[in-house]
Structure formats: C-alpha cells, structure tokens
Structure 1
Amino acid sequence: MEASNTPRIKVCCISSVQEAHAAIRAGASALGLVSSMPSGPGVISEALIAEIAATVPPPIGTFLLTCSQDVRDIIAQQRRCRTNTVQICDRLTTGSYADLRGAMPGISLVQVIHVTGEASLEEALSVAPHVDALLLDSGNQSLAVKELGGTGRVHDWSISRRIREQVGVPVFLAGGLRPENVGEAIRQVGPFGLDLCSGVRTDGSLDTGKLERFFTRLRA
C-alpha cells in the first residue's frame, strides 16, 4: 500500500461510553474494545462492549479485540458484542477467514501481526489477502503468558515499513506510540492508521490532554 501522511487514529482500550465519545470528539476514526485477554490492559465485559458499540455513530469503527483462535467462538462473540469490526489478536487455529466472512457479512476483519522479526513479514504476506486490514503490534505469542497487545513497546519499524509496502491492504501501526514519536512513526512506516493505548492514558484512564497533544502533533 502507498504511504499515508495523515493516518487515521484508532484509540484502543476504551472502557466506558464517556471515553468512547471523548475519543470521537478528539478526532478518532475507530475505537478498540478489549474482550478477555491472557494479559495486558483495557479488558472489559462483553456486555459493556455491546453497550459502548451501540452508542457509536456508524462512520466510526468499533473494533472487538479477541484472543480466540476458534472461528466459531469469534462469530459468537461478535454476535454478542455487535461491533462492526473484529480484531483477531492471535493466529486462527480452528476454521478460516472464509468461514468468518460467510458468517459475518459486512463485518470487517483485522488481523494482528506481532512484529518480532523477519518471519513477521512472511506471516503478513500470507494473511493479507484474506482480511480487510493488518494491525502491526509489539506482542509476543511465544511467551508462557501470551502478550497480545497493550505492551507500550515500540517494535522494529523497518519491518513494519516493509510489510506496509508489500501488502495490498491498509496497515495500522501499534505499540508504544506517544505524542513525542508520532511524527517519526509516520515518516518511517507511513501507515494507514495509528493505534493508541498507553500513550494517551494516565493511571489507566483516557487522558484527553495527551490525546489532544497527539492530534496536535499529528496535524503538524
């Protein structure tokens, strides 16, 4: 995909209707709603995910973050949560992307690639034809307790750039993004979107001041 100079912004780890609407007012194009995870911040109940998603106007992406690797579980989860996008944070082991497409028409699929080395490029190239977008993050699926997002760490952006250049779908960049490094992230990677969590939070809560600074840096 071509590089983007003005990426869309997804604010992740949304924990209330109030946070959702504060993020939208600031300029977010998408919201991340985190269901049960083996580790990391921002987990909320499926009932609260459904409540938040129901209040979000249609142009805004509502991303259900799932750690499930079973297509049937993912389908059931989306039907309970009623988001317009599913973000698959681990690798599918049971079922296929085609199964998800058939069961969830009109729902966008975003696959997370945890950028750990050269193998991540091969994984991204193999997955990209089957999904609507990739999200490049800094987790680690090989740990005893998997890290599937929200690490606050920056990964190797040179690999992310190569992924963005070689795949045919939009790419979101996640992992340790802050107002101080957003400009460099855009210059180095040129992603379609940026995914924010820890960099715009204070003591776990969305910090509208940090979020406004992020958008100020982005526009600059």
Structure 2
Amino acid sequence: MRSRVRVKICCISSAEEARLAVAAGADALGFVAAMPSGPGIVSDEVIRTVVPSVPPAVSTFLLTSFSRAPDIAAHVAACATSTVQIVDHIDPAEHVAMAALMPAIRRVQVIHVQGIEALDMIPVYEAHVDAFLLDSGKPGGTMRELGGTGRTHDWDVSAEFVRRSGRPVFLAGGLNPDNAAEAIQRVKPFGLDLCSGLRTDGHLDPAKLAAFMRAVREAS
C-alpha cells in the first residue's frame, strides 16, 4: 500500500491563508521570502507573525535565496520556521555548516529540473539534506528563476529522480487540481508543492484548494 501523498501549500501570505490551507488538510505551508523573481513574496515580518498561528503538526517552510550557511541560519532564526527550503543549487559544504548551526531545523534542497543532468545532483546533496524538492526554475542566466514559474518540467526525469533518491522528494512546478492525479501516478513523489495553481487574482482560492485536495486524496 502506497503511503499518503503529502501536500505543501506555498506562497502563504497571511494568517487567514494559513488557516484555510490547514483546514483543507495541508501538511506543510511555504513562506516565500525575498527572491529575484516569482510570486507570493512576503516580508520576514509577515512570516514571523503568521508562523505562530500554524498548528505544531503542520510544517512551516522558509524559502530563502541566501546561499551561505550563516546567512541562512540567521534568516531561519528571524522567521522561526521549522524547515528551510534552499531554492538555489549551493555548495554542499554549506549544508554541513547549517547542520552544525541549526541542528533542529530540517533542510530541503530544491533541484531545478532542466534536463537529465538533474539526476547528477542526487549524490551531491543526498547525504546532507532531509528532502529534495523538484521545481522548474532556471537559476542560471541574467534573469534567475528560483521557483514560482507555474511551469511543469519533464516528469519522466522527476520520476527517475524519485526512484534513485534515498530521501523524500516533493514535486513542484505547474501543479493544479487538473493534473495532480497524473503527477502522483507518473512521478510517485512523497509530496506535492504548489502556489499559483491554487490562486485567483493573487489570493488563495478556497474552491481550487478543495478541488486539489480532493484530487490528491482520490489519487493517493
């Protein structure tokens, strides 16, 4: 019997959105701090105001674009989340340093799936992280995208990543109520993560949220 697929609702911007997501059955909430691009960015002040309202059983993820361990640790301490999501490919040595600086904080490494080479990142990070998250960003170039693109990537690569990884793997990028079941069937991830697919005019849409959670339950 396959374990239940977890759901992380990202781009939480208020206590009301957090309440809606938790009531719908979300396992984790994502808070997007300063980024070079993408939707759902909120201030650190908003994050540290909303986090205390989240029940203990629901994980809180800080999405940070910092790449050095001291900066990441300070950011997490300022926002008081239980998990940090590293949205760029960083030096694995920084994960080693983070483990020493904040041993109680779980670390999730984002891998931007631009091709089959994403699989090469498994041995680079696997020993140092608690989970992976596969997204559709483009971290290189002049216009860096570190998530929130609303695009799907090659799910065949993601499925192979899940098969090879010894860590839990979240799938992100272009998910919505209409493709949630296909994503689960094809990729078999530990969890699904999404932002724009549940929003209308920039706000978390209760109807889309309910439809997505229903699709996940039925496909799990």
Query: TM-score scaled to structure 2, two decimals?
Result: 0.96
Query: RMSD over aligned Cα, in angstroms?
Result: 1.4
- Distance in 2 (CA, whole Å) between partners of 1:25 and 1:83 is 19
- Give runs of aligned pairs for residues 4-153 of structure 1, distance below 5 A: 4=2, 6-93=4-91, 95-153=93-151
- Distance in 1 (CA, whole Å) between partners of 2:30 and 2:191 is 13
TM-aligned CA deviation for residue 4 of structure 1: 4.8
Q: Is the 8 A contact 1:4 1:190 kept in 2?
A: no
- Which 5+ residue runs of structure 2 have no aligned equivalent? none
Over the matched positions of the two proteins, sequence identity in percent amounts to 50
- Distance in 1 (CA, whole Å) between partners of 2:157 and 2:62 is 26
Which one scores higher on RCO, CA 8 angstroms, separation ≥ 6? 1
- Distance in 2 (CA, whole Å) between partners of 1:5 and 1:199 is 24
Structure 2 residue identity aligned to 1:215: M
- Where 1:99 maps in the other structure, the secondary structure is helix
- Where 2:84 maps in the other structure, the secondary structure is strand
TM-aligned CA deviation for residue 96 of structure 1: 1.8
Picking from 183, 186, 207, the partner of 2:184 is 186
Q: Is the 8 A contact 1:4 1:192 kept in 2?
A: no
- Distance in 2 (CA, whole Å) between partners of 1:4 and 1:193 is 12
TM-aligned CA deviation for residue 92 of structure 1: 2.0
TM-aligned CA deviation for residue 103 of structure 1: 0.8
The number of residues matched between the two structures is: 218
- Distance in 2 (CA, whole Å) between partners of 1:196 and 1:53 is 19
Q: Is the 8 A contact 1:70 1:95 kept in 2?
A: no
Structure 2 residue identity aligned to 1:208: P
- Distance in 2 (CA, whole Å) between partners of 1:156 and 1:94 is 25
- Distance in 1 (CA, whole Å) between partners of 2:155 and 2:3 is 16
TM-aligned CA deviation for residue 54 of structure 1: 1.4
Structure 1 residue identity aligned to 2:36: P
TM-aligned CA deviation for residue 127 of structure 1: 0.8
Could you give the per-residue CA deviations for residues 107-131 of structure 1, whole angstroms, max 9, x where no partner exists?
A: 1000000000111110133212210
Query: TM-score scaled to structure 1, two decimals?
Result: 0.96
- Where 1:215 maps in the other structure, the secondary structure is helix
- Distance in 2 (CA, whole Å) between partners of 1:107 and 1:216 is 30
- Alignment correspondent of 2:194: 196
- Where 1:135 maps in the other structure, the secondary structure is strand
- Distance in 2 (CA, whole Å) between partners of 1:110 and 1:78 is 13
TM-aligned CA deviation for residue 47 of structure 1: 0.9
